[in-house]
Structure 1
Amino acid sequence: MQDLIERLKTYCIDTLSHVSLSVLDPGHDKPIKDIYVTPKRHRVVIQKNGVHTKVDQIHKYKYIFNNGDTLNRRIFLQGEPGMGKLTFAAKLVLDCCNQSNPSSETSTEVNFDDVETLH
């Protein structure tokens, strides 16, 4: 099982560590650590009447994955096209893969101060 986990981590690092800069020129890639800019992330509360309210800005992974004492079963990333939802998801996976080996060459800069939450 540990071998499978290590192979998945290696695959994710190899696959997600570079981002295409142009849809028209898919061969033009850059390392994600060179171009990543942390987007503004807010927790949104949906009231029973359907009104969406931004509550607070998120600066830690634990606020994404935990709701008080319970684990969030579903997490939705919403935003305008081109605002970095997919890149944020790739960065999250890379942070998770690199969490056990943060000194590796593929280690990306951490934008949250609680990466151990991903472990």
Structure 2
Amino acid sequence: MIKEVEVSIYGAEQICASCVNLPSSKDTYEWLQAAIGRKFPDQKFSIHYYDIFHPPVDEEKNAFCKKIIEEDLFYPIVVIEGEIIGEGNPRLKTIYAEFEKYGYVSM
């Protein structure tokens, strides 16, 4: 059995100043959730959205939200199993490759 991968999307309602003309963070979250589900059907994964201006109680995720703001990182930021996989305009090919590293098989 493969490990259930955890995907975290960090972003905000307002679009990143450097990411004008790109989808919102929430739209990216919904798009990725659907795309990953289609690519790897019947293979469990968890995906969560975190608003960087309303951080969660979780200490680690809260600290990462602060880092995004302090370091002026482009958002949305896609994190898979604690590793940043994409910033601003994430690429599906990169995300799919990361899933395959964990044993997911595309259908």
- Higher relative contact order structure (alpha carbons within 8 Å, sequence separation ≥ 6): 2
Q: TM-score by structure 1 length?
A: 0.21
Q: TM-score by structure 2 length?
A: 0.22
Q: Which has the larger radius of gyration?
A: 1
